Amino acid sequence: MESWHGTTILGVKKGGRTVIAGDGQVSMGNTVMKPNAKKVRRLGAEGQNGIKSVIGGFAGATADAFTLFERLEKKLEASRGQLLRAAVELAKDWRTDKYLRNLEAMMIVADADTMLILTGNGDVLEPEGGIAAIGSGGNYALAAAKALDEYEPDPEVLARKAMAIAAEVCVFTNDRLTIEEVGG
- Cα atoms in the 13 Å half-sphere on the side-chain side of 68: 35
SS3 18: strand
The 10s digit of each residue's pLDDT in 72-107 is 999 999 998 899 999 999 888 877 766 666 667 789
Q: Which of 68, 61, 55, 43 is nearest to 7 (CA)?
A: 61
CA distances for 61 relative to 33, 47, 66, 109, 126, angstroms: 14, 29, 9, 17, 23
Q: Which whole number is the average pLDDT over 162-166? A: 98
Query: How many structural domains does the chain have?
Result: 1
pLDDT band (50, 70, 90) for residue 44? confident
Spatial CB neighbours of 173, under 8 Å, sequence gap ≥ 6: 8, 23, 25, 135, 136, 137, 140, 141, 163, 166, 167
Element (H, E) at 71: helix 62-78
- Residue 59's domain is classified under what CATH number? 3.60.20.10
Percent of the chain at pLDDT above 90? 58
For residue 55, is it within any domain?
A: yes
Mean pLDDT of the chain: 88
For residue 183, is it within any domain?
A: no
Residue 67: is its pLDDT beyond 90?
A: no
What's the confidence (pLDDT) of residue 48? 61
What distance in Å separates the CA atoms of residue 24 and residue 132, rounded to the nearest whole number?
18
For residue 184, is it within any domain?
A: no
pLDDT band (50, 70, 90) for residue 61? confident
For residue 137, is it within any domain?
A: yes
Residues identified as active-site: 7
Residue 109: is its pLDDT beyond 80?
A: yes
For residue 107, is it within any domain?
A: yes
163: alpha, beta or left? (left if phi > 0; alpha if psi -120 to 50)? alpha
What's the confidence (pLDDT) of residue 5? 56
Task: State the pTM of this model.
Answer: 0.92
What's the confidence (pLDDT) of residue 32? 87
pLDDT band (50, 70, 90) for residue 50? low
What's the confidence (pLDDT) of residue 62? 75
What distance in Å separates the CA atoms of residue 71 and residue 65, rounded to the nearest whole number?
10
Q: Which whole number is the average pLDDT over 32-56? A: 83
Q: Which range marks the domain in which residue 18 is found?
A: 4-178
